[in-house]
Amino acid sequence: MNQPFQTREALNTKPVEQARPALSLLIAAPRGFCAGVDRAIEIVERAIDRFGPPVYVRHEIVHNKYVVDALKAKGAVFVEELDEVPANVPVVFSAHGVPKSIPAEAERRELFYLDATCPLVSKVHRQAERQIEKGHHIIFVGHAGHPEVIGTMGQVDPDRITLVETVADVAALPFERDDALAFLTQTTLSVDDTAEIVAALTARYPAIAGPKAEDICYATSNRQAAVKEIAPQCELVLVIGAPNSSNSQRLVEVAERLGTPARLIQRGTDIDPAWLDQVQTLGLTAGASAPEQLVREVVSRLAEWRTITEQVVTTTEEHMIFKLPRQLTE
C-alpha cells in the first residue's frame, strides 16, 4: 500500500520546544560560609595533610552533610564521643564548641586534640567564666540541645546557669528583681527574637549584666539582614542549609515573618518544581555552613525548568578571617 505523499518541509519538521517561563532570581549576599566555618574546615584539612589520615572529629565539624562527606573522602572520621577515638590519632573539636569536660577528658587519655571552636563562640565561653567570677548567675538565651548551647553551658557549674528559649521562659524565672544576674546568648539566634527576650530580661531584672557587644555573631546578623532585603520582593525564598543548622533555620523564619513563604533545602535535588508555580521572583540564600557549590547546584537545578535571570543583592561586605591553631602553623 502506498504511503501518503509528504513534502520535504513536513519531513524536516521537528516539534517546537516550549519556551521555559522566566524566573527572576535574587541571591542574597552575604550568604554561605562564615569565617568560623572556613577556619574549622581548614583545620580538619590541614590536620589530614600534616598528620595523615585518619583524623577524628568529635561531632559534625559544621552542620552540613555535603561538607562532612567531602571531609570523610579525604580521611576524616566523625564520632560523637571521645571513647570512639583510638590512641595516637589527632581529634578535632567541632566549630560549635565543647564543654570543659571534653578537653579535660582528652588530656586524661593523652589524646592530641585541635580545637576548631569558632572564636566568637570561644568569646562567649570566656564571658561566661568572667560573669561567674563576678558572682553572677547566668541566664543563657539559646536552643536546648544545640551543640553550641551544650558547649557554653558546660563552661560553668550547671547550678550557676539557666537556659531560656522564649519570653515566656523569662516570665517563669525564679529569681528576684535584685539578684546578681547576667545574660549571654547563643551566636546563631534570630536577631529579632533575641531582642525581644533581652528586652523582657532587662524589664524584669533592670540590674542584669549583659555583654559589651551582642553575642549573636556578625555572620548570623548579616545573613538575616540580607534575607530581610530580598524576601519582600519574592514569592518564595529558598534557604540552603541542614535541618540541624540553627542559623539556617533562622533564615527561613526571617523570610516567613515578612510574609514570604520559605523552604529549607540541603541540595538542588530537594526542590519540587511545583513550588515554582506562580513564582516569578525567587529569593535564594545559604546558611553559614553551606558552601557556594551548593548555591550553584541549586541555580543549575532551577534552570532545568525556568529561564533564570540572576541578581545578587548585597547588603554588606565581609572580610573576617580567624587564625588557625598554632599546632598547624608552627
Q: Are strands 236-240 and 181-185 parallel, antiparallel or unpaired?
A: unpaired
Residues 74, 50 contacting (CB under 8 angstroms)? no
Which residues have a catalytic role annotated? 148
- For the chain, list the strands marked E by DSSP: 22-29, 55-58, 76-79, 91-93, 113-115, 137-141, 161-164, 181-185, 236-240, 262-265, 281-286, 307-314
How far is residue 110's CA from residue 126's CA, in Å, rounded to a whole number?
25
How far is residue 140's CA from residue 151's CA, in Å, rounded to a whole number?
12
How far is residue 149's CA from residue 105's CA, in Å, rounded to a whole number?
19
Within 10 Å of residue 151's Cβ, how many Cβ atoms?
Answer: 24
